[in-house]
Structure 1
Amino acid sequence: MTSKYKVLFLCRENSARSIIAEALLRELADQRFEVFSAGSEPAARVHALAIAQLRPGISDLGLLAPKSWLEFTGEWAPRMDLIVALDERVGEYHAPDFPGKPLFVQWDFADPLADGMTPDERARSFEKVFWQIVRRVTLFMELPRYTLPVVPAVTHSEPVAHERDIVCPG
């Protein structure tokens, strides 16, 4: 029996970058990953420009909604294998403790919702960030550790290897 790797993408508002990453990983490798996204200050809805970027290739946009990261901190919350922060403001030292002490990594992308952009600049920013996330998610899926589904824990007498760092070029 195998199970899926559980991945949580974090961003402050959970309306753009983390939503895009969640949707892409679910669409591209759903058979290997159970994917979530959340934020420290979730927006009321997914940003329209994020939906516009995803619409051509994502089969179920209805699954996407901003959520609080607190939904993933209780005893009842799913145990994540990996937390990926897409916003330095929700990095490891600002994020809450997640059950099971999952591996925590940071992927830095410009904020397409940053203040001071014209509508055209914002649209270009969303497109650029979208393609950067596509590239990073694709590279992540190809890492040897994530090419096969998780195998349940072995007996306590066998040694267990721990991955300390994930490095994705880009």
Structure 2
Amino acid sequence: MKDKCNVLFLCWANSARSIMAESLLRELGGKKFGAFSAGVEPAARAHPLALAQLEPHVTSEQPVHPKSWRRFADADAEPMDIIIAMCAQSGALSPTLFPGTPIFCRWNFPDPVEAQGSTAEQARAFEKVFRQILRRISVFVALPLHSMKRADTITTIDNLRETDPSASFKVDDDA
């Protein structure tokens, strides 16, 4: 793998989980990573509760907004080294749709947008998913990706979901 690793986080609406992952990787990964996110059916805007989770933790002034995955599938698009599906629906996309030969992994997180209950309960759902993503990104940025073989990289990144200490929050790993 080259010195700078481009990572695309895919989700259904690109309004919460993938936006949080993109922002956290940009914050924690420094110059080692290019962080991007996109959705299968992008929302009109990032979810306010996702942005509220990011606000105290992310210093980057780079704006985040939902984008279509097709932007990254164009022949002239910057190739991604790693694509991480954040939900089962986005995991159905094929890595062959993207330029180059990206590594395709799955980290399925529950969608906090679907949380029911009071505003406080919804905010807690966003915080829980945010913390899960933060833990996983923290481990991810510490991996020696540049010295790993492709097959080892796929297995290691996919297995981060297995060792996540937040496993008590139900995660759909059927993909």
Residues 44, 66 of structure 1: 8 Å contact kept: yes
Residues 81, 103 of structure 2: 8 Å contact kept: yes
Cα offset for 1:118?
3.0
Pair 1:110–1:61, CA change in 2 (3 A): farther
Q: What's 1:113 paired with?
A: 113
Cα offset for 1:62?
4.2
CA distance in 1, matches of 2:49, 2:106: 23
Aligned residues: 156
Letter in 2 for 1:41: E
Query: Is residue 162 from structure 1 mapped to residue 161 from structure 2 by the alignment?
Result: no
Q: What's 2:25 paired with?
A: 25
Residues 55, 61 of structure 1: 8 Å contact kept: no
Cα offset for 1:122?
1.1
Q: Please tell me whether Structure 1 or Structure 2 has the larger radius of gyration of its CA atoms.
A: 1
Pair 1:161–1:127, CA change in 2 (3 A): closer
Q: Report the 3-state secondary structure (helix = DSSP H, G, I; strand = E; otherwise coil) of the residue aligned with 1:42.
A: coil
Q: Report the 3-state secondary structure (helix = DSSP H, G, I; strand = E; otherwise coil) of the residue aligned with 2:108.
A: coil
Residues 115, 125 of structure 2: 8 Å contact kept: no
CA distance in 2, matches of 1:144, 1:62: 26
Q: Deviations over 1:11-36 (max 9, x none)?
A: 11101000000000001112100010
* Greater helix proportion: 2
| Identical-residue share of aligned pairs (%) | 47
Cα offset for 1:108?
1.6
CA distance in 2, matches of 1:116, 1:35: 30
Q: Report the 3-state secondary structure (helix = DSSP H, G, I; strand = E; otherwise coil) of the residue aligned with 1:66.
A: coil
Letter in 1 for 2:64: L
Cα offset for 1:116?
3.7
Residues 103, 150 of structure 2: 8 Å contact kept: no
TM-score, normalised to structure 2, is 0.82
